[in-house]
């Protein structure tokens, strides 16, 4: 009464008024007790703001030459490099568990590596053979193929080296050829992880010019120069090639957040269908900002070093592996990721299956 009708005044007069996302709660203790909603497993389930399902998962995995070959990655317990025949069995299992897509990475034998990475676009290279085999034998799962030259360069860089720099524009032609070779082999999504400027546009043009307008591009838009990639480089054998060099001349500086939004904006403008933030957990602020700034499917990559840290601490008995793993994944969802790349995808899918049968107690 006697007020101006201004919203703040109305709120002040009606402390019990329903709160929304945009207003802080007006009530207070002891009437308001947030613990009420946390009392039982069923109340917690009822009010949960985010959910993780098997459809949120992408399984990154490694393929090697040979037959009946399987080798564990030392720094990633439980993660294996599979020869194509064994890979098929694993991918079939992923498909049966309901995982929508796999991301395949090749372990290229040293003799196939060169300064100019020609092997990257040979249509009969390891990754193309793997993609063809998976497509043929496990048709109902998406195949995501990495576009970057590091598995193929003798120096381990993602692009061609001239002098002491990675030559952006010379690299683009090779990336375009690589993307077309992957599409020809049957990749559903190509995922440029190289961080060259302009690569999304060039790859989109190359795919369209060769009849692959249906092939999607998942841009590793905000990919940081991270030390969390160490175990991955062991897995694919690029660590020794890279030696003491680094990728700071093209991957992003961990100090930067605003710049990630520019990267994402450019990649969307150039034709990206989906974007990625990578690594995952240490960069959830970036995930959140991309989610709030753009309307495009957004993925986060729980990278090799994140996986290795969880495994190592669990092996020591210092953390509970399943519980910590599931907590990290719901954190990705809370931050705004649509999906998560995780090396633990198969285990997670099995955990979720038990959960839906009411057997899993980790959320309780």
Q: Which residues participate in catalysis according to the annotation?
A: 223, 278
User: By rule CB under 6 A, what string of x and - marks binding of each residue 47-86 to ligand PBG?
Assistant: ----------------------------------------
Question: CA–CA separation, 132 vs 121, rounded Å?
Answer: 15
Give residue 152's Cα distance to chain centre.
21
Q: What is the DSSP letter of 55?
A: G
56 versus 194: smaller Cβ distance to ligand PBG: 194
Please enumerate in sequence order all residues whose Cβ is within 8 A of that of 33, keeping only pairs 6 or more positions apart, or say none: none
Q: Which residue has the tokens 């568990």?
A: 97
Judged by CB under 6 A, the residue of 129, 233, 334, 350 near ligand PBG is: 233
1 versus 146: smaller Cβ distance to ligand PBG: 146
Residues 120-149 that bind ligand PBG (CB under 6 A): 146, 148
Tell me the closest approach of the beta carbon of residue 45 to ligand PBG, in angstroms. Answer: 32
Burial of 198 (0-12, 13-18, 19+ CB in 10 A): middle
Question: CA–CA separation, 335 vs 321, rounded Å?
Answer: 21
CA geometry: angle 128, 129, 134, nearest 5 deg: 100
Judged by CB under 6 A, the residue of 274, 303, 325, 335 near ligand PBG is: 303
Question: CA–CA separation, 234 vs 212, rounded Å?
Answer: 33
193 versus 216: smaller Cβ distance to ligand PBG: 193
134 versus 148: smaller Cβ distance to ligand PBG: 148
232 versus 299: smaller Cβ distance to ligand PBG: 232
Instruction: Centre a 10 Å sphere on the Cβ of residue 41 and count the other Cβ atoms it contains.
Output: 10
59 versus 229: smaller Cβ distance to ligand PBG: 229
- The region of 13-21, 179-187, 227-235, 290-298 touching ligand PBG under the rule CB under 6 A is 227-235
C-alpha closest to that of 327 among 254, 314, 317, 35: 314
Q: Which residue has the tokens 């998560």?
A: 340
Q: What is the DSSP letter of 124?
A: T
Q: Shortest Cβ contact with ligand PBG: which residue?
A: 232
Residues 182-211 that bind ligand PBG (CB under 6 A): 193-194
Tell me the closest approach of the beta carbon of residue 156 to ligand PBG, in angstroms. Answer: 8
Tell me the closest approach of the beta carbon of residue 243 to ligand PBG, in angstroms. Answer: 13
Tell me the closest approach of the beta carbon of residue 260 to ligand PBG, in angstroms. Answer: 16
Per DSSP, what are the bridge partners of residue 101? 58, 142
3-state secondary structure of 61: strand
Judged by CB under 6 A, the residue of 56, 119, 150, 263 near ligand PBG is: 150
User: What does each C-alpha distance from 358 to 108, 323, 329 come to in angstroms?
Assistant: 43, 16, 19
- The region of 22-30, 32-40, 226-234, 353-361 touching ligand PBG under the rule CB under 6 A is 226-234
Tell me the closest approach of the beta carbon of residue 178 to ligand PBG, in angstroms. Answer: 12
Judged by CB under 6 A, the residue of 152, 232, 250, 283 near ligand PBG is: 232
Please count the residues of this chain forming the interface with ligand PBG, following the rule CB under 6 A.
12
User: What does each C-alpha distance from 129 to 238, 271, 350 come to in angstroms?
Assistant: 21, 27, 29
Question: CA–CA separation, 268 vs 146, rounded Å?
Answer: 18
Tell me the closest approach of the beta carbon of residue 233 to ligand PBG, in angstroms. Answer: 6
- The region of 32-40, 81-89, 229-237, 354-362 touching ligand PBG under the rule CB under 6 A is 229-237
DSSP letters, 198-217, are THHHHHHHHHHHTT-TT-EE
17 versus 225: smaller Cβ distance to ligand PBG: 225
Counting contacts by CB under 6 A, is residue 229 touching ligand PBG? yes
C-alpha closest to that of 182 among 149, 155, 160: 149
User: Which residues contact ligand PBG by CB under 6 A?
Assistant: 146, 148, 150, 158, 193-194, 229, 232-233, 247, 303-304
């Amino acid at each position: 009464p006697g007020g101006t009708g201004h919203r703040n005044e109305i709120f002040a007069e009606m402390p019990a008024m329903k709160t929304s996302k945009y207003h802080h709660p007006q009530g207070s203790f002891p009437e308001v007790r947030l613990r009420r909603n946390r009392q039982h497993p069923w109340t917690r389930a009822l009010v949960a703001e985010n959910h993780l399902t098997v459809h949120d998962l992408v399984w990154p995995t490694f393929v090697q030459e040979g037959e009946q070959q399987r080798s564990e990655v030392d720094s990633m317990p439980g993660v294996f490099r599979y020869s194509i025949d064994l890979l098929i069995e694993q991918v079939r299992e992923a498909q049966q568990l309901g995982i929508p897509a796999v991301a395949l990475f090749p372990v290229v034998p040293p003799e196939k590596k060169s300064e100019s990475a020609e092997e990257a676009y040979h249509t009969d290279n390891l990754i193309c053979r793997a993609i063809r085999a998976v497509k043929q034998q496990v048709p109902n799962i998406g195949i995501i193929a990495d576009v970057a030259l590091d598995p193929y360069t003798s120096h381990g860089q993602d692009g061609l080296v001239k002098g002491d720099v990675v030559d952006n524009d010379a690299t683009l032609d090779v990336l375009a050829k690589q993307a077309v070779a992957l599409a020809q082999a049957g990749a559903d999504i190509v995922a440029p992880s190289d961080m060259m400027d302009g690569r999304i546009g060039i790859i989109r043009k190359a795919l369209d010019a060769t009849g692959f307008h249906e092939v999607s591009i998942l841009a590793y838009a905000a990919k940081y120069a991270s030390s969390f990639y160490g175990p991955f480089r062991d897995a694919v054998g690029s660590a020794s090639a890279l030696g003491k060099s680094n990728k700071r001349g093209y991957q992003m500086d961990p100090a930067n957040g605003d710049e990630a939004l520019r990267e994402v904006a450019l990649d969307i403008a150039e034709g990206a269908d989906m974007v990625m933030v990578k690594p995952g957990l240490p960069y959830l602020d970036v995930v959140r900002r991309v989610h709030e700034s753009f309307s495009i499917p957004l993925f986060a990559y729980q990278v090799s070093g994140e996986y290795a840290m969880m495994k190592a601490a669990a092996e020591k008995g210092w953390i509970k592996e399943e519980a910590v793993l599931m907590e990290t994944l719901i954190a990705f969802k809370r931050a705004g990721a649509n999906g998560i790349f995780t090396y633990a995808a198969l285990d997670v899918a099995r955990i979720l299956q038990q959960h839906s049968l009411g057997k899993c107690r980790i959320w309780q």
